[in-house]
Amino acid sequence: MIRWLISYLITFFKGIWQFIKRFFTSWKGIVSFIISFSLYVGWAIAFVVIGIIFGNAWLYSTGTTVVLFWAGPLPMWLLIVSTALVLQRYVFRDKKSMGWKDIKAYWKDEIRKEKEKSRLAREKRKIKRELRAKIKQEKKLKKLIAKYNKQKGKEYIVYGLE
């Protein structure tokens, strides 16, 4: 469960990063990203800067609280990117922006890759587990043979274990 969650978060952030990089292919994308970022977090950063400059603790603490609240992995970046996509696509009418079909295809491909990666990791763990069990069984067999040889005073050779 933990591995899946970590894998999901890594995939999510890689996807968000890919979307953010796509904004910087045109000036309309850059403007829409700046507007979207300013809408959600820019005013809080301005509060922090003004609070530091003028020594106003209320502005500083309010800005810091908002920035820390939005700094979580899901809410801020998901809202910023989705709002920027809407601005770029429908307000600025930029044809270079990703459409909903492109986004859906991208996420399906990423999920397919992650499932394949997790399937390969599961198979690898299974092979390692079977190998450890085989080694453990061979050690037990060696101990049993050594114990038997000690009791009888004879030496038996078991091929494949030496």
Q: Please identify which residue in the block is written with the tokens 């050594």.
A: 146
In a domain, 158, yes or no: no
Q: Are residues 89 and 105 in the same domain?
A: no
Say what the pLDDT of residue 130 is: 92
Say what the pLDDT of residue 132 is: 93
In a domain, 114, yes or no: yes
Q: Are residues 132 and 63 in the same domain?
A: no
Residue 62: domain span: 1-97
- Provide the pLDDT confidence category of residue 74 given band limits of 50, 70 and 90: low
In a domain, 133, yes or no: yes
Residue 16 in contact with residue 85, Cβ under 8 Å? Answer: no
Regarding predicted confidence, which is higher, 55 or 18?
A: 55
Q: Please identify which residue in the block is written with the tokens 């394949």.
A: 116
Q: Are residues 63 and 87 in the same domain?
A: yes
Q: Are residues 36 and 54 in the same domain?
A: yes
E strand spans, the chain: none
Q: Are residues 51 and 15 in the same domain?
A: yes
Q: Per-residue DSSP letters for 107-135? A: HHHHHHHHHHHHHHHHHHHHHHHHHHHHH
What does pLDDT average to over the chain? 81
Per-residue pLDDT tens digits for 128-143: 999 999 999 988 888 8
Q: Are residues 47 and 85 in the same domain?
A: yes
Q: Please identify which residue in the block is written with the tokens 């800067």.
A: 49
Say what the pLDDT of residue 53 is: 93
Say what the pLDDT of residue 158 is: 57
Q: Are residues 69 and 3 in the same domain?
A: yes
Q: Are residues 91 and 118 in the same domain?
A: no
Q: Are residues 38 and 92 in the same domain?
A: yes
User: Which three-class secondary structure state does DSSP give residue 34?
Assistant: helix
Say what the pLDDT of residue 111 is: 79
Q: Are residues 124 and 105 in the same domain?
A: yes
- Our count of domains for the chain comes to 2
Average of per-residue pLDDT across 144-162: 65
Q: Which of 97, 112, 143 is the last residue of a domain?
A: 97
